[in-house]
Each structure stands twice: as structure tokens, then as C-alpha cells.
Amino acid sequence: MALCALASVVLLMPGTAEARRSRPPVVLLVFDEFPSTDLLGKHRHIDRKRFPNFARLAADSTWYRNATTVSDTTFTAVPAILEGRLHRYRPHRPPRIGSNILSFLARRGYRVRARAEARGICQRRFCGRQRTTRYYLVRSRVARLDSFIHSIRPGRQPTIWFKHILLPHLPWIHLPSGKQYIRGFRPPMRGINSARGVFDPTLENLSYQRHLFQVMAVDRAIGRLIDHLKETGLYDRALVVVVADHGISFRVGETDKRIVTPANIQGIAPVPLFIKRSRQRRGRVSGLYARNSDVAPSIAHFLGLRLPWRTSGQSLTSRAVRRRRTVRVQSRLPRVSSIRIGVGAFQRRWQRRILTTHGIFGIASYGRLFAIGPPRRLLGRSLAGLSVGGPGRYHASVLRPSEIRNVNGQSRFVPSLVSGFIGGGRGGKRRALAVAVNGRIVATSRSFFLRGSSREAYAVIVPDGAFHPGRNTVHVLAVGRRGKRLRFRLLGRV
């Protein structure tokens, strides 16, 4: 009898084959520079039209809608996700890598398959040799994410797949389809791909628009992840965690979009956090003030384990999380420890940020994203039905026109960024613009001035579906008013 009891205990020990087979696989996907504000539509629900796959994930998982980051830099935020504890940021020094969820699960019989796209945030024995951040930024990030997704395969040994991907991190070069509108990472107009301060409202809206397009490309990748997990039979069994390291702020006049300050915490702090537990089939929305440092303790808890080191993060089922009433984000700035704000004040400021975003880009519409300048009702109008005045003293150049004249339908590149400079007018004037592709208006915007430049410039993103293979035509129009009637003047043509 004693031998039978001893045998049953041995079978339940963590290191035994029976225990390993009963453990669910884990998928941990960490995005970079991704505020959850992007996903929110009416009444702070996920905008299903623009982000259908995040909505699919939320339908099967717990979405922690009020989740926030603990740090404004990847080099402390990702280790906090993996370890459940926050280290002090030390500029120009590699992060300290301690025991984390990867090493912990490896000791419990898990196989670890991990990749990270920033140096010093993951042990080399798991994530391999790290290249520079620049290396990862200038090469196809969407393709690497797809490669990670397809590397997830069922096996006899329980596995944790971890991926930190520099998406939707700038440079912003991807359309929702995943195609690129910039070759490499340098745009034809220098100064529109920077995280540094932007002091022109139109240019700031352009940055935010391009960021949102990259988030929509991420949404498609989430759909491919869900489909792949279902095809391989892993989806129901797997513990799936999707989170981000920190957000990004889009406010005119900021010195840096990614450094948290008392004025922009509502942009930096909110991050997406979705946790689909093993066998979970019904989604729910949690109002808890989760932090991304809660991820590692929560993974351990949902696996029936407990981390053997002290953590500042907590399991999301704990009383400590339910009692939180502050949002706290550590700053990368020297002599600034962290920014704190009560949840009431945070919610009021976040709601204003959400409403501002909706005012610029609307909700529940893909086409509306291309109309960041007045008048928006022009989208879809044919040039044949408009009275367009000929070129006057104002004229617009179009950078890299050969790309528009020679579109390759099989290429990953499409010339959706139409940009150039407007000459012939008085300095300091900005104007409303409309861009037509192949005879139909597909985008509206305004001209702007790069900081330190007196040249009037414009940069407009148009849908990739507006182009056809071969030669295309693009018209850049100035839009004015005479009373209630709109007036159009041709500024440039390719």
C-alpha cells in the first residue's frame, strides 16, 4: 500500500513524464511601442472593423482593458514582463538578467523556444546571439513575426514560445496589408520618421496615422497566429499571452514620444494585455489595473506553479491587484524615478486621449483613416466630376515619381507614400490637399513645415489598393472654398 502511494506521488512530481505531458504549452508574444488606445472604439470596446483579430482573441481570452506598463523603456519593461520585477533603468549599461519565466519553466521540464529583438533582455542560452536593435528594425519585421508563428508546433514535451518583436515600433513603414511603402526605413522626405518632438499638428497626425497602419498589420499577424494554433490543434490547450512593453505618445510639441512625463502618461502607460488560459472558451473584459509585470506571476499561477523569487508584480487573481488605485511608470530619464497618478485622474485623461483619437481618425472605418485633412467627404470622388483649375503660380513636386509609374504587383513594396514640396507661395501658409490615384480621390491631408525649414511640404498615405500593376497617375490638388462651394487647383501630377 505504501509503495502504491509513493508511486502516485512520484507520478505527480513536476519533473516526471506524466506531469510534463499534462502541462499546457505557453505562447508569450510581446509587442513593442503599442498603446492599447489604438484598439479602442465606441464605449472603449475593441474596434472590430479595424482590429477584427484582436476582437477574435478577446472573444476567447481575458482582456485586461486597464493594463499599464511599469516602464517607458524596453530594456526594463521586457525583463519586468519575464521576471515579474522591475529593475532600475541604467543608461548605457546592459540590463541585469535574473531568473525569469523562461529559466523557471525550463527547470520544470519545459522546452524553451525564444527570440528577442533588443539586446540584454533575454538569456543568450534561450534567445541566442543578439544583434543590434538597428539590425532588427531595418529588416522585415512582419516576415520574422510570421516565421515565429509558423515555428509553433506540437510536440511530446511541453514548450514555451516567447517572442519580443519590434512592432508596431517605428520606423513606420508598413500598411495594414503588411506591404511596405518605404524601401528600407528611410523615407524620401527626411524628418517624418522620428520619435523626436513634432511641432506641426498635421505632421503629428501623419505620424499617428502611420503608427495605426502598422498596428493594423499587427492585427493581421494576430489572425495568422490564431489560425495557425487552431490548425495545429494547440489553440484550445495553450496558455496564450499577448502584451506590449510600453506605449507611445502623440502630442504636439513633445521632446520625445516615448519618454513618460506627467503630461503624457495617458499615452505611454496603457498597453494591451490578453491572457487566454488553457481550455478557456469564453472571453471576458477585466477592469483590474493590471501591470505588465504581472505576466510572469500570472503564467506561473495558471500553470499551477509559484515563482521562487520575490516579485513586484502579482498574479492577476490576487487581492493585491484588485486593490490597486495608482498607475506608476518608471522613467528612463536620469534623476526622475517614476511618474505616478491616481486611477481616477488617469481615466479622465485617458478618455480625453481616446476621444481626441476618434476625432482625428473616426471609428469603425478603414477608409476614414486616409482622411486626416478636410474635407473628408471627398474620398471616393472622381476627378471627372470636379472642376479643377489648372496650375497657377503654386506647384508641387512629387518625390520618386518613377515608383508610381512602375508599380510591381508582386512586390512587397507599394508607393503609397506620396510626398514632396510646394513652391510658389508665401512662406508659412498651410493648405488643404487631396490626392487622387488613377482619377479618383483616395486621401486628404494638409501641408506642413518640418521643424527648422521654411519649405512647405506634404506627405500623404494612400491605400495600396488604389494602385494597379504598371503605370499609374497621381494628382495632387489644393482644396479651397468660395462660400459653401469647394474649389480645386492642380498642384502636381505624375
Order of strands across the sheet with 388-389? 388-389, 485-493, 474-482, 432-437, 440-446
pLDDT in the model for residue 321 = 97
Residue-level pLDDT at 196 = 66
User: Which of 266, 329, 256 shows the shortest CA–CA distance to 292?
Assistant: 329
Between 213-217, 249-253, 360-364, 489-493, the lowest mean confidence (pLDDT) is in: 249-253
pLDDT for residue 453: 83
Residue 7 has pLDDT above 60, yes or no: no
Q: Span 371-493: which CATH code?
A: 2.60.40
What local confidence, expressed as pLDDT, does residue 13 receive? 45
User: Domain 14-361, what fold?
Assistant: Alkaline Phosphatase, subunit A (3.40.720)
Is the backbone peptide bond immediately before 171 cis, with ω within 30 degrees of 0?
yes
Task: Tell me how far apart the alpha carbons of residues 392 and 47 are, in angstroms, rounded to a whole number.
Answer: 43
pLDDT-based confidence at 11, cuts 50/70/90?
very low
Q: What is the pLDDT of residues 472-488, one digit of tens each?
A: 999 999 999 887 789 99
- Tell me the pLDDT tens digit for each residue of 131-179: 888 889 888 899 999 999 999 999 999 999 999 999 999 999 999 999 9
| Residue in 259, 320, 265 with CA at minimum distance from that of residue 293 | 320
Q: pLDDT (tens digit, 9 = 90+) per residue, 152-164? A: 999 999 999 999 9
pLDDT band at 425 (very low <50, low <70, confident <90, very high): low
Q: What is the pLDDT of residues 290-303, one digit of tens each?
A: 999 999 999 999 99
Cell numbers representing residue 327 in the block: 498607475
- 116-120, 432-436, 440-444: least confidently modelled range: 116-120
pLDDT, tens digit, for every residue of 76-96?
A: 999 999 999 998 887 767 677
Cell 520574422 sits on residue: 144
Contacts of 121 (CB under 8 A, 6+ apart): 74, 75, 78, 79, 82, 95, 97, 164
Flag whether pLDDT at 4 surpasses 70: no
Q: Give pLDDT tens digits for 443-465.
A: 999 999 888 888 899 999 999 99
Q: Out of 298-302, 335-339, 362-366, which region has the weakest mean confidence (pLDDT)? A: 335-339
Q: What is the pLDDT of residue 166?
A: 96
pLDDT of residue 428: 67
pLDDT in tens, 12-31: 344 555 555 579 999 999 99
Residue (of 485, 483, 467, 476) closest to 177 by Cα position:
467
Q: How much is the average pLDDT of 34-63?
A: 97
| For the chain, domain boundaries | 14-361, 371-493
Average pLDDT of 336-365?
A: 95
Axis-axis angle for helices 343-361, 201-231 (nearest 10): 100
Strand 338-342, strand 326-330: pairing? antiparallel
Mean pLDDT value across residues 244-252: 95
Q: What is the pLDDT of residue 6?
A: 38
| Average pLDDT for 24-48 | 97
More reliable by pLDDT, 226 or 394: 226
Instruction: Tell me which DSSP letter residue 89 carries.
Output: P
pLDDT at 194 over 80: no
Q: Which of 297, 290, 253, 259 is closest to 274 using CA atoms?
A: 290
- Residue 197 pLDDT: 58
The length of the chain in residues reads 494
Residue 190 is classified by DSSP as: T
